[in-house]
Chains A and B, each alone.
Chain A
């Protein structure tokens, strides 16, 4: 029962994320018909699973720890106490239920906002939901715990600034340097079309890989038992297929299913309306954003918003052609969506946490 609950919630979240994040990899290419929708989703599905398989486990540990700190997953102390009291089954069920609620609140938020055509961040919604749960259970009388929670929240929140800013800087540098290099090779429409087509295919595949690495953790980190004591679904550190790696692969597959089934709507909406950028700039923006996401995973170990990095990269590329080319109105609208999605998810989870506190406490 508890396995089914946990699995269904995470898989739904992954599916929901896939419907939304596919747009970041191939949105522009599909909307401008450079790449066919069918081709795009097949490439994304393969590369997302590959990204999750090779690098996805890096983010799992960190997110699992944050879930434990916010009372979503069981801590070592909880598991040891449950083992002593013989209530491990009960602890597992409660952990699964809590994870299910967090996932469900985040998934509902993402689904509703995607339906309203906002390029919302699923990763942020999950973070918001975890924090929302943690705020309900936080021990406000213990300064050490409070300090730890605040540090964690600030670390997460810092990615909301570092991620788009980093993407903007990388994108600006890439577009500035590459423009001259590519411009020389645009001697004919044949070359132009070939550069654009290959560029978008390569950039989209790279971006999908980064999504797999980045987002698989968000949807399945709560499956992973960081205590190693069997308080959760997946654990173990032996061989190539460690618990963290298996967890990431499950997340990658769930995202891939979302991409394959319901991603067209958002993909057609996202098309680079933030800045007037050329098609050549378009695929460099995707590469810059994917590179930022991979670097964020490498150096911070935190799943970041791929939508934020794309927007940052688009602004960076637009700035190469001058500040006037950047549509800050659209930028503001998207920024509001970034703030509103974790807030809405957090608030929803907080309310559910209050309503269920008598059962879980």
Chain B
């Protein structure tokens, strides 16, 4: 029973690593996208890297779900783990969606927002690292996480930080001297970028609910 469940643990770790790889590729993509000198072909090549990583994350999600059906976790735990894994996969999906919009719509980030975009992404990455740790704790130090869920609180605090940056950006975008179509395009990309943080926060909430349900 423990051996089977360990294989599920390995699969989940692999799936999260694939999502992380997608995030890293997306980070490289975003840094290039917010640099004015980057040529479109370079961006397209980086986009393919994001797509490939997203496909890998999808595959490992399916493998993880298959391994769960063979494992001995309780049905409620299986449901929770699938929910967490599919939500993590949404992070990779969202990265791909944003990259797709940027490449296909030949989106150019205004230079004045480059720093804010990168800040959003740096915070999101930090959030994901915390999330990765908390998921790992579910398999090794669950009672410690139950006693001290501050890591989950930190994820939520970072989401609030991103919210504030998003509000500032959304307000500023519509005061710019550009066409409404451009404003809408930038606003949409900002919204999608900040969605990543919301998804991670939702996963943190799910973990907290799991912990409460499993309190002795």
A residues neighboring B (CB under 8 Å): 32-34, 179, 182-184, 186-194, 196-197, 278-281
Contact = CB atoms under 8 A, between A and B. Distances in A.
Contact of B1 (A33, A184, A194, A281): A194
19 contacts: A34-B74, A183-B216, A184-B143, A186-B143, A187-B142, A187-B143, A188-B140, A189-B77, A189-B138, A189-B142, A190-B5, A190-B9, A191-B142, A193-B5, A193-B74, A194-B2, A196-B74, A279-B214, A280-B216
A183 B73 CA distance: 19
A182 B214 CA distance: 12
A33 B76 contact: yes
Interface residues of B, number: 24
Interface of B: 1-2, 5-6, 9, 72-77, 81, 138-144, 146, 210, 214-216
8 closest A-B pairs by CB:
A33-B75, A183-B216, A190-B5, A280-B216, A193-B74, A186-B143, A188-B139, A188-B142
The dominant DSSP class at the A interface is helix
A184 B210 CA distance: 18
A29 to B, nearest CB: 10
Nearest to B73: A193
A38 to B, nearest CB: 15
Nearest to A193: B74
Contact of A193 (B6, B72, B216): B72
A196 B74 CA distance: 9
A279 B142 CA distance: 16
Given A33-B74, A33-B76, A186 B139 contact: no
Contact of A186 (B2, B75, B76, B216): B216
B85 to A, nearest CB: 13
Contacts of A34: 74-75
B140 A179 contact: no
Contact of A182 (B2, B139, B216): B216
A14 B140 CA distance: 47
Given A278-B215, A279-B214, A193 B140 contact: no
